[in-house]
Amino acid sequence: MRRHVQRKAWAGRFADASHPAVEAFTSSLAFDKRLALYDIQGSVAHCRMLVKQKILTRAEGEKILKGLDSIKQELQRGTFPFLPSDEDIHMAIERRLMEKLGPVGGKLHTARSRNDQVLLDVRLYLRDEIAAIQRLCQSLQRQLVRLAKRHAGTVMPGYTHLQRAQPVLLAHHLLAYYEMLERDRARLQQCSERVNVLPLGAGALAGTTLPIDRHYVARLLRFPRVSENSLDTVADRDFVVEFLAACAILAMHLSRLAEELVLWASSEFAFIELPDAFATGSSMMPQKKNPDVPELVRGKTGRVYGNLFALLTVLKGLPLSYNRDLQEDKEPLFDTVDTVKGVLGVLTAMLPHVTFRTDRLREAARGGFLLATDVAEYLVEKGMPFRRAHEIVGKVVRWCLEEDKQLEELSLAEWRRFSPLFEADLLGRLTPEAAVDRRRSYGGTARVQVQRRLRAIGEGK
Amino acid sequence: MRRHVQRKAWAGRFADASHPAVEAFTSSLAFDKRLALYDIQGSVAHCRMLVKQKILTRAEGEKILKGLDSIKQELQRGTFPFLPSDEDIHMAIERRLMEKLGPVGGKLHTARSRNDQVLLDVRLYLRDEIAAIQRLCQSLQRQLVRLAKRHAGTVMPGYTHLQRAQPVLLAHHLLAYYEMLERDRARLQQCSERVNVLPLGAGALAGTTLPIDRHYVARLLRFPRVSENSLDTVADRDFVVEFLAACAILAMHLSRLAEELVLWASSEFAFIELPDAFATGSSMMPQKKNPDVPELVRGKTGRVYGNLFALLTVLKGLPLSYNRDLQEDKEPLFDTVDTVKGVLGVLTAMLPHVTFRTDRLREAARGGFLLATDVAEYLVEKGMPFRRAHEIVGKVVRWCLEEDKQLEELSLAEWRRFSPLFEADLLGRLTPEAAVDRRRSYGGTARVQVQRRLRAIGEGK
Amino acid sequence: MRRHVQRKAWAGRFADASHPAVEAFTSSLAFDKRLALYDIQGSVAHCRMLVKQKILTRAEGEKILKGLDSIKQELQRGTFPFLPSDEDIHMAIERRLMEKLGPVGGKLHTARSRNDQVLLDVRLYLRDEIAAIQRLCQSLQRQLVRLAKRHAGTVMPGYTHLQRAQPVLLAHHLLAYYEMLERDRARLQQCSERVNVLPLGAGALAGTTLPIDRHYVARLLRFPRVSENSLDTVADRDFVVEFLAACAILAMHLSRLAEELVLWASSEFAFIELPDAFATGSSMMPQKKNPDVPELVRGKTGRVYGNLFALLTVLKGLPLSYNRDLQEDKEPLFDTVDTVKGVLGVLTAMLPHVTFRTDRLREAARGGFLLATDVAEYLVEKGMPFRRAHEIVGKVVRWCLEEDKQLEELSLAEWRRFSPLFEADLLGRLTPEAAVDRRRSYGGTARVQVQRRLRAIGEGK
Amino acid sequence: MRRHVQRKAWAGRFADASHPAVEAFTSSLAFDKRLALYDIQGSVAHCRMLVKQKILTRAEGEKILKGLDSIKQELQRGTFPFLPSDEDIHMAIERRLMEKLGPVGGKLHTARSRNDQVLLDVRLYLRDEIAAIQRLCQSLQRQLVRLAKRHAGTVMPGYTHLQRAQPVLLAHHLLAYYEMLERDRARLQQCSERVNVLPLGAGALAGTTLPIDRHYVARLLRFPRVSENSLDTVADRDFVVEFLAACAILAMHLSRLAEELVLWASSEFAFIELPDAFATGSSMMPQKKNPDVPELVRGKTGRVYGNLFALLTVLKGLPLSYNRDLQEDKEPLFDTVDTVKGVLGVLTAMLPHVTFRTDRLREAARGGFLLATDVAEYLVEKGMPFRRAHEIVGKVVRWCLEEDKQLEELSLAEWRRFSPLFEADLLGRLTPEAAVDRRRSYGGTARVQVQRRLRAIGEGK
């Protein structure tokens, strides 16, 4: 009963067939294939609704559902016969359904248009992918927390302007990325709510004259909401842009982590050792061991940003409602999903194998005047205005630079040349560990603060 | 008691003064002036907390508060004396405070850094501006609703591919923009939650050794949350990027509305008449009346997109924590706020004065085969598979094109040449109004649906 | 003699094999396959130079050249056996060469690195593709010229602000796109000069200790110049960015043409009729004939812009010299090449089949006060200051609007109510054709000017 | 004789005055003021041509030229009276001219439109600014060359993947930036040729009916070419986009240099010392000396990229010819000019004061297996296939890592354990200086090569 239906489904009104250059140029099958199973899922729900509403008979519905199931199996097995004349995945499946069922297959498209159908597919797809990305974010967060717990006492220099600034805990530094990912997940979750709206039933642009029940379809497909305006529904790609923007921020976060891994793996920092399995060599230089993974993570930020701007460009100035330009939403979306999943996955796989050289980290936190702020705040405690204290400690630093000394090396007598407020209790303060632990302000780097945060994370707060 | 404090507040450690080219290049005063009152507001709360925590004495606190109040008045009156050597608004205000109070003024910066201070200012500013933009969105929505109510029965062609597709209500078309703005407001609201987090107390990067109470400051400034990680706090600009992304989507929506207004104001569409007060002329062509307002609204999408991309670029690959690059967040933010408020404001002012030419709209909805889908769905109701019905109606259309006829002009006999399912009841259906009213599916363009939506909007749903 | 060499070529220094996630994440084979034949071409030249310089013996050189030729044939026939462990096309080919030749195959990579090798491949590739795109631009220009010649006398309204402004020739309008493409070609040509620089011999970053002859390789591969600084050579992707920027401008031009085709194909303008073979239908609406081709041309601007910004993002802030991030240059480049060739090709195929409705065009150029500037310039000829003339004609227009008249309908008496300078000779001027022909200023729309330009184009000026 | 002309110059046709919100929204005076003197320059040439062509009398022309000169002086002295009702700089100057001269002032706008006038102003402006930027590039190049000459023998590690790779000369590294700037200048020069085309005479869109002489104006203003198509002329902003793209590449180059300066100024690299006058301190941390200048240079890349994208967005999909959206070209252009001039200027001022710590640089070039490639190429010279040599040296490196040795420390006996090809002459090669000097391939890092390049630069090649 197989017959190849080669003529375009919309060809009734046309005298001439499509120019082959047009077929090649306009076909989206190469990339929207990826939506195939979501298309089936949506069609199943649509078909059930048509039966419930008596737009199809029960017998017709059952035939169609059986046909869809058999197509689904072909797709899953990779035996589905795609044709060059298939314009897109929707038409390929409908064509196949008609090959299998004959004219009754032509009843499935009742009361719907590709304009609302494709949106259903994309929303189903993106709903799943957002959940997957959220889980990947959590996996990476879990690795960060594990590392933070392992390095609960490791001291390192905190940086501003890439200059050593104040000692911090490595755990505190790692948890900064935890917080970024926490915001990423929140943004993705809220985006997901706007993805999770049923578009089907908007028809081509204006709804349909047939007595459909959109809320029933929504229930079948677990959409909590149904779109409110059919014109807006088919013209809208906000949910894709919003997802791309959330991913751009996520990619930016990972580019910052990647930059730090690259810096830390350099000979100059030498704060970490990358595992051989996560580094690559050079075709020319036999000694090289390169941090290609974080470099590529950083580089892939470009494509995520680019995808966001690609879609924003597409949408600028488009009149309502559907325009074919909107077909250009899919590749940026798919590439972003793949990229973000890829970078999250590889970082999560790599992080547990990174060796932190705690000796180098602590060493770097010593000297270098990282405790200058502590000294200024010491003077504040003794009653000196902060701005004056800052100035005095600045002068101490300048003097040390001239004398080639470190703060830790000054005698009390030397300190007192700069201010009589300095007393013996100052000297005990001048270790990175003491400096870290005195920063007990909420969210500060003191061990008590970091432990508090780790507990709260453990309790899911 | 005025003394000009020209030396940089951080100059203790420095042997040489800044090169003038560096002062000019690095100063942010020209644009961060805009944050002056928020800086005062933050300093007042910070000072109160320092007193409560006994880091300052009550007397010191009162002096400082009085000094801040007097500076606030200078700022409001425009008499504040800015100096070329002021690096930024924070230093300008601190310098002024010390001119007024002497050394005690130098106590205000205790336990804070410009790194957390500037974030406080920006968050206070943006919180207010988001609320303002939300209100402007609502005003524009209100105008759309008013127009929709006024045109509750006006029929026009709905478009896909800028080709007439099916008749819709003008009210339905206008409400599509209502829905977009509804999503914009939701996004801005959720962004606002992430803006509304207290950064102060993160210090330069690691918190402070002084016994501050961040939650008290949060209560004074009505921040529901306090940031969790000091490094993340000073390195983070997510909330700005997220705001810029939300505005990019909003600007994109308005670019679509603007494009339609430009199209509709053309001689070819002639769907609207712009009021003289909202159009401009040509320096050369005496007859011209140009839709400059929607054109500029559309054009200004560029700068909003550009601002988003500018900040994403700045942030890419920055290591923790604060880097001076982050100073580049402010101009894109301010320009976006100004632009978005500007376009929302001018569209809201213009819309009530736009005259819709309802005769032209209805005329355009007639003929042109806009009812072809209705005919196909008519056949479906009679039991024909949709795909077959589509094909038959396509052939009718082709025949009409050859014969230069409209669907409305065909006799029943002519219809029946294409299918015996056509019966007399078809003919009564072939008006735009009937077509509109039959699209009763949820979110469709039927009057009952549009009225339902207007009621729901009126009830704040 | 086939042996599969699975170990990475750089693995000598490594204790552990690559993690599979790393292989998958870092491999570029999926996309740099496209460079395979250019890689062979470059290797052939490199090998010849090594022989000439006696770094390889003649016998070794011949073996390698034979091996490369046999690999080339495998690639052309599609029988080349790619392996999942191949990191990139360079390593795949070298691996294959060693399978075929044994250790002597390992001599090909002497005195080069993948860092300079990949740049050679990309430059060879891009040089060809730029030439191809230039030819496609010329083809499109040729179609525009043909249409312009066919419509040498067709009058239409010229627009500013999408408002009818002054009558112009359709030929003049079409030639505006000719000029844009002319600039595009010039930019591509100049970009090509910077592409056309030999990178090979820069080695990994610093040159090589072996006595290579880069100028000889340059001659073999027809590169007029050799790069001057090895560090710059391997770090540089300017030529790709510049190409992407030139393509962004080109895509922007085509988006403007596409926008006009979409507008002109609308019922409201109805200036053109698209051939059936270049339009597509709707899955739901049987009457639809949509201008999908120009819509997609317009939409694809997004990806071209996005690709440019992707690469700019990648490059921002990268230290010298090569970083793995640079691998992200290829997909934006390849996608841009494909997209630009696609849009140029399909527009060139379509344009000759577009029917211009010259009656509608002329009709639209009549009335509508398009001749108001002519009247003002008439008054200027009679000695009136232009600004005053503009004002008077503005008033005439206002009066006509109130009286519902066209300029062409006014009697001399009516004209003279506004100024005594109006005389009988005015009336003969008031046709679109006369207006067009009076605009004889260089580059103006007069037939003599357009003919002059067409002649100059024909003579290649 | 002063009269304020408040009414819009195009108001003849309008019944109502502009809404104040529209005036504020559409006015470009705030930013196009910057073009004032170019506007005068263009008007002077236009006026002279009108006289030559007898469109104005000699007496009228002289009056107008005198008026323009007096306005020029007001502008230069800052006494020009701008009014809120001035739409733009063109109208402000024309209004002022009429205040000074009465009706004859209204003759200046004869045969031109703001559409071509503004393009003339922008092209005159940009021509000058490109020349200025080119000169600034040259100044920076000169500083790089000076530093290169000063450090003609300073050895440092060359990096790939931010891993030490091979020793290079600091001079070679600095000259890499010279080459980038050389390409930037070439791109700007070619862009300048496309800027340098006379637009005036295109009128509003179609030329003019008056007998103007565009080539005469071109000669007066030193434009080598006259635009060929009036519609294209007023619609075109290519030259601005192209300039922005050239600046994006330039900014990207400087972001890379800035990144390196930031890295080098870190405690970990400590390759350079910034002068106090080019660093800034911290409001909280008394010891900090931050590389704010290169950080801001790096950060400002964002706005340059953003400006490019802003304008590309504006232009996407605009139909011909002029649209008001195009007014949005100016602010991205002006901001880019200012930014690029600023970053070039400040880097040029700073570079001579940067102290390179040549001891640290050399120290970093020793050890770390940077000579591994030299050893592999040594084996190649002895006849071993490169790939095999690479593997052997890789194993040497692995063994050294396990034994905690450097290549320089191995005895000949130890070397020979890995290959009998190693002989005594190897050991003398193992210094960074020897390695550098052996890289004599054209464009390599050997002193002879770098000196050759410096000589060629000195001779302007």
What is the number of CB-based contacts under 8 A between chain A and chain B?
421
Distance CA B152, CA B155 (A): 9
Q: What is the DSSP letter of D35?
A: G
pLDDT band at residue D261 using 50, 70 and 90 as cut-offs: very high
**Residue C17 pLDDT grade (very low, low, confident, very high; cuts 50, 70, 90):** confident
Residue with tokens 């996560």: A278
pLDDT of residue D461: 67
Q: Phi first, then psi: what are they for B290, rounded to 5°?
A: -105, 145
Phi, psi of A118 (to 5 degrees): -65, -35
Taking contacts as CB-CB distances below 8 angstroms, the residues of chain B near D12 are 281, 286
Sequential DSSP letters for C367-392: STTTTHHHHHHHHHHTT--HHHHHHH
> Shortest Cα distance from A355 to chain D (angstroms)?
16
Chain A residues close to D368, C-beta within 8 Å: 267, 287
pLDDT digit string (tens) for chain A, length 461 residues = 334 445 777 878 888 888 888 888 999 999 999 999 999 999 999 999 999 999 999 999 999 999 999 999 999 999 999 998 888 999 999 999 999 999 999 999 999 999 999 999 999 999 999 999 999 999 999 999 999 999 999 999 999 999 999 999 999 999 999 999 999 999 999 999 999 999 999 999 999 999 999 999 999 999 999 999 999 999 999 999 999 999 999 999 999 999 999 999 999 999 999 988 898 888 888 889 999 999 999 999 999 999 999 999 999 999 999 999 999 999 999 999 999 999 999 999 999 999 999 999 999 999 889 999 999 999 999 999 999 999 999 999 999 999 999 999 999 999 999 999 999 999 988 999 999 999 999 999 999 999 999 999 998 76
Q: Assign residue B411 the CATH number of its domain.
A: 1.10.40.30
Q: Which residues contact A276 (CB under 8 A, 6 or more apart)?
A: A289, C14, C15, C16, C17
**Pairing mode of beta strands C272-273, C225-226:** unpaired
Instruction: Give yes or no: residues D178 and D271 share one domain.
Output: yes
Residue A391 near residue A184, CB atoms below 8 Å: no
| The predicted structure's pLDDT at residue C388 | 92
Are D306 and B306 an interchain contact pair (Cβ–Cβ within 8 Å)? Answer: yes
Predicted TM-score (pTM) of this structure = 0.97
Q: Is residue D106 part of a domain?
A: yes
* Closest-CA residue to B25 (of D277, D34, D309, D257): D277
The CATH number of residue A354's host domain is 1.20.200.10
Distance of CA B436 to the CA centre of its chain: 32
For residues D188 and D312, membership in a common domain is answered with: yes
**Tokens 């007998």 correspond to what residue?**
D211
The pLDDT, as a whole number, for residue B2 is 39
Span C304-313, average pLDDT = 98
For residues A334 and A381, state if they share a domain: no
Question: Is A276 contained in some domain?
Answer: yes
Cβ distance B235 to A256 less than 8 Å, yes or no, reads yes
**Number of independent structural domains in chain A:** 3
pLDDT of residue D4: 41
pLDDT (0 to 100) of residue C192 = 98
Cα–Cα distance between A195 and A204 in angstroms, integer?
A: 19
Residue-number span of the structural domain to which B416 is assigned = 366-460
Closest-CA residue of D relative to C304 is D312
User: How far from the centroid of its chain's Cα atoms is residue D203's Cα?
Assistant: 32
Give CA separation, D181 vs C313, D174, D302, D440, in Å.
Answer: 19, 11, 19, 24
D161 is catalytic: yes
Would B427 be classed as within a structural domain? yes
In a domain, A393, yes or no: yes
Residue predicted with more confidence, D11 or C227: C227
Ranges in chain B, pLDDT < 50: 1-5
> Could you tell me if C85 and C141 lie in one domain?
no
The percentage of residues in chain D with a pLDDT greater than 90, rounded to a whole number, is 89
Which residue on chain A is closest to B440 by alpha carbon? A209
For residue C10, being part of any structural domain is answered with: no
**Mind listing the pLDDT tens digit for each residue in C108-120?**
999 999 999 999 9
Q: What is the dihedral of CA C281, C285, C291, C295, to 10 degrees?
A: -110
% of residues, chain C, pLDDT over 90: 88
CA distance C440 to A102: 65
Q: Are residues C217 and C340 in the same domain?
A: yes
Gap between the Cα atoms of C52 and C61, Å rounded? 9
* Whether A53 and A167 share a structural domain: no
CB contacts of A391 in chain B (<8 Å) are 11-12
For residue A183, give how far its alpha carbon lies from the nearest alpha carbon of chain C (Å). Answer: 23
Which residues make Cβ contacts (< 8 Å) with residue A90, sequence separation at least 6?
A: A39, A114, A117, A118, A121, C283
- Asked if D116 contacts D234 with a C-beta cutoff of 8 angstroms, the reply is yes
Q: At what angle do helices C89-101 and C36-52 cross, to 10 degrees?
A: 60
* Dist. CA D313–CA B306, nearest whole Å: 8
Contacts 24+ apart (CB under 8 A), B384-388: B384/B419, B384/B421, B385/A103, B385/A104, B385/A105, B385/A106, B385/A107, B385/A110, B386/A106, B386/A107, B386/A108, B386/A109, B386/A110, B386/A111, B387/A9, B387/A94, B387/A98, B387/A103, B387/A105, B387/A106, B387/A107, B387/A109, B388/A103, B388/A106
Q: Residue C75 contacts by C-beta under 8 Å, 6 or more apart in sequence?
A: C36, C37, C40
Q: Between A36-52 and A58-77, two packed helices, what is the crossing angle to 10 degrees?
A: 170
pLDDT score of B280: 87
Assess contact for D206 and C445: CB atoms under 8 A: yes
The pLDDT of residue A402 is 92
CA atoms within 13 A on the CB side of A164: 24
Whether B61 maps to a domain, the answer reads yes
**Averaged pLDDT score across all residues of chain C:** 94
| Per-residue confidence (pLDDT) for residue D451, from 0 to 100 | 97
Phi and psi at residue A271, to the nearest 5°: -85, -25
Residue D327 shares a structural domain with residue D338: yes
Q: Which residues contact D433 (CB under 8 A, 6 or more apart)?
A: D153, D155, D167
Closest alpha carbon to B31 in B343, B360, B338: B338
pLDDT average, residue stretch C23-51: 95
The domain boundary, picked from A110, A141, A161, lies at: A110
Closest to D266 (Cβ–Cβ): which among A163, A262, A286?
A163
pLDDT bucket at C141, cuts 50 / 70 / 90: very high
Q: Which residue of C has its CA nearest to D371?
A: C209
Query: What number of other Cβ atoms are within 10 A of residue D394's Cβ?
Result: 25
Whether residues D370 and D226 share a domain: the answer is: no
How far, in Å, CA of C323 to CA of C337, rounded?
24
- Taking each helix axis as running N to C, give the angle between helix D447-458 and helix D114-150, from 0 to 180 degrees, rounded to the nearest 10: 140
Query: C155-182: per-residue pLDDT in tens?
Result: 999 999 999 999 999 999 999 999 999 9
CA dist C10 to A287, A310, C121, D160, Å?
9, 38, 21, 15
Residues C277 and C422 in one domain: no
Q: Quick count: other Cβ atoms within 10 Å of Cβ A266?
A: 21
**Does the pLDDT value for residue D5 go beyond 70?**
no
The residue ranking higher by pLDDT, D26 or C128, is: C128
Residue C8 lies in a domain: no
The enclosing domain of C59 has a CATH number of 1.10.275.10
Best mutation target among A263, A268, A388 (most D Cβ atoms within 10 Å) is A268
Amino acid code (one letter) for D189: Q
Domain boundary (D92, D110, D128) is at: D110
pLDDT at B238: 98
A221's tokens: 């497909």
Residue A297 structure tokens: 């993570």
Residue for token pair 């009729």: C273
* pLDDT(C296) > 90: yes
D22, D324, D328: residue with CB nearest B277:
D22
D184 belongs to a structural domain: yes
Q: Which of D161, D267, D283, D441 is catalytic?
A: D161
Structure tokens at A247: 């991913």
* Closest residue in B to C262 (Cα–Cα): B162
Grouping H, G, I as helix, E, B as strand and the rest as coil, residue D47 is: helix
Domain match, A279 and A399 both: no
Interior CA angle at D42 toward D41 and D48, to 5°? Answer: 95
Chain A residues near residue D165 by CB distance under 8 angstroms: 282, 285, 288
d(CA C396, CA C377): 14
pLDDT-wise least confident of B281-295, C217-231, C438-452: B281-295
Q: What angle do CA A61, A63, A69 make, to 5 degrees?
A: 100
Q: Which are the contacts of B91, defined by CB distance < 8 A and separation ≥ 6?
A: B8, B9, B114, D283
Residue D366 contacts residue D432 (beta carbons within 8 Å): yes
pLDDT of residue C461: 67
Same domain, C168 and C245: yes
* Residue C5 pLDDT exceeds 70: no
Write the DSSP symbol of residue B280.
B
Chains touching A, CB cut-off 8 Å, 3+ pairs: B, C, D
Cβ contact, residue pair B286, C313, below 8 Å: no
In a shared domain, residues D378 and D286: no
D315: closest CA of chain B, how far (Å): 8
Q: Final residue of a domain: which of A337, A363, A389?
A: A363
Q: What is the mean pLDDT of residues D43-52?
A: 98
